[in-house]
Amino acid sequence: DVQLVESGGGLVQPGSSLRLSCEASGFTFDDYAMHWVRQAPGKGLEWVSGMTWVSKVIGYADSVKGRFTISRDNAGNSLYLQMNGLSPGDTALYYCVKALGATESRAFHVWGHGTMVTVSS
């Protein structure tokens, strides 16, 4: 079974940094594009960033550009999101998502359970 397990969330103060991790199993990780999607409490879904199978950055949402960095370790079956300069507006449940294929425009298929990030003083 495909599994995506996120970790690294927590309660941090404004201006802090966090690194989210997503450990993947049950599929050939380096055959698929991967994404981060977030959902603020009681709100809708927002795409954050994505990366193709060959570690090409698909892009970043305007709201996180310049502050967040996506990366992946294909040998370790892991996806990461380095988040700097966090603000209360970044408070959300962050999901790791496996695409249906390798490239940027392939549909989002399997979602993890998410890791919660709370930014508050």
**Max intra-chain CA distance, the chain:** 41
> Please, what is the minimum distance in Å from the beta carbon of residue 116 to another protein?
13
Please check whether residue 68 is in contact with residue 91, taking contact to mean a CB–CB distance below 8 angstroms.
no
Instruction: Tell me: does residue 42 bind another protein (CB under 8 A).
Output: no
Judged by CB under 8 A, the stretch of 7-15, 19-27, 57-65, 77-85 that binds another protein is 57-65
Contacting residue, 77, 111, 116, 118, with another protein by CB under 8 A: 111
Contacting residue, 58, 69, 78, 82, with another protein by CB under 8 A: 58
Give the Cα separation of 116 and 75 in Å (integer).
26
CB proximity list for 14: less than 8 A, separation 6 or greater: 86, 87, 88, 119, 120, 121
Residue ranges in contact with another protein by CB under 8 A? 35, 37, 44-47, 50, 58-59, 61, 95, 100, 104-105, 107-114
